[in-house]
């Protein structure tokens, strides 16, 4: 009987402990990339980025649908999806890692905090360990804004650029992440 009572108590406490952990998330984050060459500039935006951040553990995850990137020219978008990113085969990019520099207590106090993001970035089916700098701003209303700019090289992720258009696409692509998180 005592064991049964302890099990009931544990069953009641565990959900409360789990719900006390604050996590933040979004389904409409913004990631943009920019390729600059003397021949042509290419820019694309994706405003359907999903992400979850747990300031208690520092855990951070992103999921980015490749076909959700929008270009100024429809032909660029078609070539991006069919010829380079092969988005039918590799439909999403992912990041799984941690944020260093934001404690659970800081996530409750308004301010801007420099952070480092470390983890595994998977693009085009190729996973690479990455580390990038950024900032997380805690707003007075309890929401968070994460910002980071970094470079990705297509060849690091097995993305092949045909020689005929090699001069049109930069060897280093600038990626800008702008995520507004709310409590989950």
Domains identified in the chain, total number? 1
Note whether residue 138 is domain-resident: yes
**Is the pLDDT at 169 greater than 50, yes or no?**
yes
> What's the CATH number where 112 sits?
2.40.128.110
pLDDT 10s digits, 75-132: 999 999 999 999 999 999 999 999 999 999 999 999 999 999 999 999 999 999 999 9
Q: Classify residue 8: in a domain, yes or no.
A: no
Residue 37 structural domain: 23-183
Lowest-confidence pick of 7-11, 97-101, 157-161: 7-11
**Residue 8 CA: distances (Å) to CA of 1, 5, 14, 20, 92:** 11, 5, 10, 19, 42
**Structure token digits, residue 104:** 């659970």
Assigned domain for 55 exists: yes
Percent of the chain surpassing pLDDT 70 = 89
Helix (H) or strand (E) holding 15: helix 2-20
User: Could you tell me if residue 147 is inside a domain?
Assistant: yes
pLDDT at 17 over 50: no
Q: Alpha helix locations (H) across 29-146?
A: 74-79
Residue 11 domain flag: no
If you write DSSP's letter for every residue of 136-154 in order, what string do you get? EEE-TTS-EEEEEEEEE-G
pLDDT at 68 over 60: yes
């Amino acid at each position: 009987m005592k064991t049964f009572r302890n099990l009931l108590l544990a069953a009641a406490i565990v959900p409360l402990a789990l719900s006390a952990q604050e996590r933040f998330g979004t389904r409409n984050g913004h990631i943009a990339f920019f390729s600059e060459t003397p021949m042509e500039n290419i820019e694309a935006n994706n405003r359907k980025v999903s992400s979850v951040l747990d300031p208690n553990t520092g855990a951070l995850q992103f999921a980015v649908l490749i076909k959700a990137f929008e270009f100024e020219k429809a032909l660029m978008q078609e070539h991006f999806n069919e010829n380079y990113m092969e988005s039918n085969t590799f439909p999403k990019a992912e990041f799984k890692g941690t944020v260093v520099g934001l404690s659970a207590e800081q996530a409750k106090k308004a301010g801007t905090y420099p952070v480092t993001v470390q983890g595994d970035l998977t693009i085009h089916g190729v996973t690479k360990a990455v580390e990038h700098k950024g900032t997380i701003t805690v707003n007075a209303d309890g929401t968070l804004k994460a910002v980071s700019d970094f470079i990705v090289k297509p060849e690091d992720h097995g993305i092949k650029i045909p020689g005929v258009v090699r001069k049109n696409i930069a060897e280093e692509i600038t990626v800008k992440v702008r995520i507004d998180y709310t409590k989950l």
